[in-house]
Structure 1
Amino acid sequence: MKQQWLERPEAGSLFGYRLISTFARLCGRTAARLVLFPITAFFLVRRGPERRAARAYLPRVLGREPTLKDVAKQFYYFASVLLDRVFLLSESFKRFDVQVHGLDELRAQWAKKQGVLVFGSHLGSFDALRALSEFRKDVKVRVVLDTEQNPEITRFLAAFNPELARSIINARQDGAITALAIKEALDEGALVTLLVDRSRPGNQVSVVDFLGQPAAFPTGPWQIAAALKVPVVLCFGLYGGGNRYDLHFESFADTVRVERKDREASLNAIIQRYADRLAHYTRRAPYNWFNFYDFWHLNSSASDAGSAGGADRAADGGERGPQ
């Protein structure tokens, strides 16, 4: 079922996160990365559902049956991105090689002096979006996040960057309040970021082709974009190994338009466009896929295209991987 990622227990405890984070800050990123090898081995041995999900996903992007090494690499990339959150949230980007692509497309939207919706996914690192602060100190970024999904870890990470924590729009609150907070941030000219690839039980969804098989994507973020009539930009922060990140921006639409006459078909077409772009970058960086559950097992309780329902909880609490 689509809610598998909600039902699986956390892969690591807050104590474990504190331990590796403290070690990383005291001993440095290079030393901390060595610890990721036994962590990866632990997941390979102990996390059967995630291992099977990786084996089901990887053939879609590799074009062959994956080896255990392929599965381990996907787990290792996820662990590396999680570790880097400590540094991305608490430091400048001096220790990272961040290449930004498509910045002119984002600048074109900034020039209009209006807010922009930035849609991301659980592909790579969305924290790399903070690299924008290196180019525009005046840009305000607001993150729509379910702070109650992993409350202890959320609070722990917030301590690294209190200013960023204060900018969070809580997706768990009442839907109307969430939508109003998004609108107010956009009216202030902010970049409002959401992760839009996962649907929750009860979400309104569109079922479209993704990597060759039907998958359900939430419609809420797109309906909010259509209602607010603001530009939508896609963002993919791909981890390239070592200290390399490639941050890709693509202008998706100046205004998302959902046709009233055939609303469902219109939403399906919009979300299919998004799924095609997500598939493009997934094939480009196959080990960056951090949805460790059966993404294509359609949730029978999910509805077809419908009301937004508080952004349909579009942001689910950030990076959750082997859970």
Structure 2
Amino acid sequence: MNICALIPSYDHYRELPRIIEYLRTLQLAVFIIDDGSGTTAARAMADQHDPERGIHVLRLAQNSGKGGAVIAGMRAAVAQGYTHAVQIDADGQHDLEQLPALLEQARQQPRALISGRPCFDAGVPVMRRYGRWLTNVMVWCETLSLRIRDSMCGFRCYPLADCLMLADSEPLGSRMDFDTDIMVRLFWRGVTTVHLPVAVRYPPGNPSNFRLWRDNVRITRMHLRLLTGMLYRLPRFIRDRGWQAPTRASSHWARLQERGTARGLQLLLAAYRYGGRRTCLALLMPAVIYFYLSGREQRRASQAYLTRVAHLNGQPPPGRWQSLRHFFSFANAAVDKVAAWCGAIKTDQVRLVDGSHTLFKQIDHSQAVLLLVPHFGNIECIRAIANRARNFQVNVLIHRNNARLFNHALEQLAPDSQIKLIEVNDIGPDTALLLQEKIAAGEWIVIAADRVAIGARERSVTVNFLGSPAEFPQGPIILAHVLQCPVYMVAAWREGDLFQVAWQQLAERVELPRADREAAIQHYMNDYARWLEPLVLAQPLQWFNFYDFWADFHSAKEAGMTTDER
């Protein structure tokens, strides 16, 4: 792997000596592409030419745009044996201290496009920030993915062979549309995009080469081409480069590839804040269709589950349209989740099944509780329930590795949110102590009780659910016993503009006698499953387990294993 630096420049030269000096400290050869600059800038760049020090200045007689300059520089670099090139803007916008991290990432992933994700200072124009956000939204539509976090940053490391192969086979934008165009088209070809944060500033005295009307028209045309290209490539994209479906139909839910990310949630939070519910749904719809088409295992699991429910309800088997509606229902719930976290769901939108005032007659306003919830509807509207009487923190336990990113998104875009996500892979002594402190402070704790965590098969119980044996976790019941607080079963779902909430006490205190501990856990989980089942039968599209919920039990049974052996 042999890396050099490319600096395309049109009339920018003041920051070049500083940039070159830093690049040489990293022992990078430097290719400066003078894109038909005026006399003063051209002379200043020509003065930097020093091949013995690894500094090469290539002058283009006519201005060909940023894209034309970069491609010319790539060809010159390949001719001298370089395999990768770091592109750096000549106006000094980028924090060069981030370059070693960029190079290290490139060495670890030589087939990837490593790109900066800008962190702007206060000097960035508002319209430029808005235009950047709009372009990123378009890119997410053009790639049906959220992997490209920023497509306009000129601080990146290219694999040159892939870039020149692309340039020789497809027309690329040659000016301000280049950075986005090449990134999307490389993504279509399977080149992974990796982002690193980089500080971006706007130095005084460096004029922008961006021409408001001309370049915006050019970028708009580029997006139209890319959207058309995505539609044309969609069948092959799904077949060859879609999410990799696991080979076993009974893959554990935690091993399935996530169909979204914490950063995707951050996007939805921003979209909801500035555009509302309809904007969020508009952003999600293309992704939902893509996930439905490419998620073979999730699609099959949804269809099998809906078929099971239809049989129990005495209805005909559902068609594929019903499964797609199941995916759309999940997207709607995701938007409702964002609305709840942003505080947009008001108390007058929430209806408790047993009456709006019954709940807090049962629960003292200072009482901490543990809530057992399913992956059903939108339990996040519990915040609105809590705010009916007081303000306090709701702690949600999640079995994922992105709690930090979720919390960061909430802090940035919903600073008043009273939701706190706590990552738990296993409830050990440290976690139990933390949760006991929160209970002592009068806070609520929420934990899902309808999925067995990976690696916890031996800590599950077999419960009859929707007509067949299925595995339910022991962990929530054990946690309830440790915390010694009231335990409630809660589910919420949207009906029109309102949210219905089912709320029932499981126990004032969960007791697990040492002599009969397993039987007691079984008893509590049987009660939980009996409470959940009629809700799922009544609202089947609101239960979001997109994997074979019953497969683990049947796989173990076929292997001749007992519940205890599992």
Matched to 1:258, the amino acid is L
Matched to 2:479, the amino acid is I
1:43 aligns with 2:295: no
Q: 1:105 to 1:192 in 2, by over 3 A?
A: farther
Residues 29-38 or 113-122, more deviating: 29-38
1:116 aligns with 2:373: no
Aligned partner of 2:335 in structure 1 is 83
1:225 aligns with 2:480: yes
For these two proteins, the number of residue pairs brought into alignment is 305
Aligned partner of 1:265 in structure 2 is 519
Higher relative contact order, structure no. (Cα contacts within 8 Å, ≥ 6 residues apart): 1
Aligned partner of 1:12 in structure 2 is 260
Q: 1:95 to 1:258 in 2, by over 3 A?
A: closer
Mapped contact 2:333–2:377 kept (Cα < 8 A):
yes
The one of 177, 191, 215 equivalent to 2:430 is 177
Mapped contact 2:406–2:421 kept (Cα < 8 A):
no
Shift of 1:177: 1.0
Mapped contact 1:230–1:254 kept (Cα < 8 A):
yes
Aligned partner of 2:275 in structure 1 is 27
Matched to 1:5, the amino acid is W
Q: Partners of 2:415 and 2:469 in 1: how far apart?
A: 40
CA displacement 1:119-176 (0-9 Å, x = unmatched): 1110111211111243112444222234525654553345333454774433247611
Structure 2 unaligned spans of 5+: 1-248
Mapped contact 1:109–1:231 kept (Cα < 8 A):
no
Aligned ranges 1:257-296 → 2 under 5 Å: 257-296=511-550
Q: Over alpha carbons, which structure has the higher Rg?
A: 2
After superposition, the CA RMSD in angstroms is: 3.1
Mapped contact 1:109–1:116 kept (Cα < 8 A):
no
Mapped contact 1:95–1:243 kept (Cα < 8 A):
no
The one of 462, 465, 489 equivalent to 1:234 is 489
Residues 113-122 or 257-266, more deviating: 257-266
Aligned partner of 2:303 in structure 1 is 55
Q: Partners of 2:562 and 2:358 in 1: how far apart?
A: 34
Q: 1:2 to 1:251 in 2, by over 3 A?
A: farther
Mapped contact 2:376–2:491 kept (Cα < 8 A):
yes
The one of 313, 325, 333 equivalent to 1:73 is 325
Matched to 1:209, the amino acid is N
Q: Partners of 2:427 and 2:370 in 1: how far apart?
A: 20
Q: Partners of 2:395 and 2:322 in 1: how far apart?
A: 35
State the SS of the aligned residue for 2:506.
strand
CA displacement 1:166-222 (0-9 Å, x = unmatched): 744332476111111111111222221111111123320111101111111111111
Matched to 1:279, the amino acid is E
Q: Partners of 1:37 and 1:263 in 2: how far apart?
A: 47
Q: Partners of 1:3 and 1:281 in 2: how far apart?
A: 26
Q: 1:140 to 1:285 in 2, by over 3 A?
A: same
Q: Partners of 1:303 and 1:223 in 2: how far apart?
A: 22
Q: Partners of 1:277 and 1:296 in 2: how far apart?
A: 18
Residues 206-215 or 291-300, more deviating: 291-300
The one of 187, 196, 203 equivalent to 2:449 is 196
Structure 1 unaligned spans of 5+: 306-323
Shift of 1:283: 1.1
Shift of 1:265: 2.0
Q: Partners of 1:183 and 1:33 in 2: how far apart?
A: 39
Aligned partner of 1:321 in structure 2 is none
Deviating beyond 6 angstroms after TM superposition, the runs of 4 or more aligned structure 1 residues are: none
CA displacement 1:83-119 (0-9 Å, x = unmatched): 2222221133259833233455542443285421111
Q: 1:235 to 1:38 in 2, by over 3 A?
A: same
Mapped contact 1:106–1:251 kept (Cα < 8 A):
no
Mapped contact 2:371–2:489 kept (Cα < 8 A):
yes
Matched to 2:502, the amino acid is H
Mapped contact 1:77–1:287 kept (Cα < 8 A):
yes
Shift of 1:3: 5.7
Shift of 1:225: 1.4
The one of 353, 362, 369 equivalent to 1:101 is 353
Q: Partners of 1:166 and 1:239 in 2: how far apart?
A: 20
Matched to 1:89, the amino acid is W
Q: 1:156 to 1:273 in 2, by over 3 A?
A: same
TM-score normalised to structure 2 length:
0.49
Aligned partner of 1:159 in structure 2 is 412
Q: Partners of 1:15 and 1:113 in 2: how far apart?
A: 35
Mapped contact 1:86–1:157 kept (Cα < 8 A):
no
Matched to 1:4, the amino acid is H
State the SS of the aligned residue for 1:12.
coil
TM-score normalised to structure 1 length:
0.82
Q: 1:288 to 1:249 in 2, by over 3 A?
A: same
Q: Partners of 1:160 and 1:140 in 2: how far apart?
A: 17
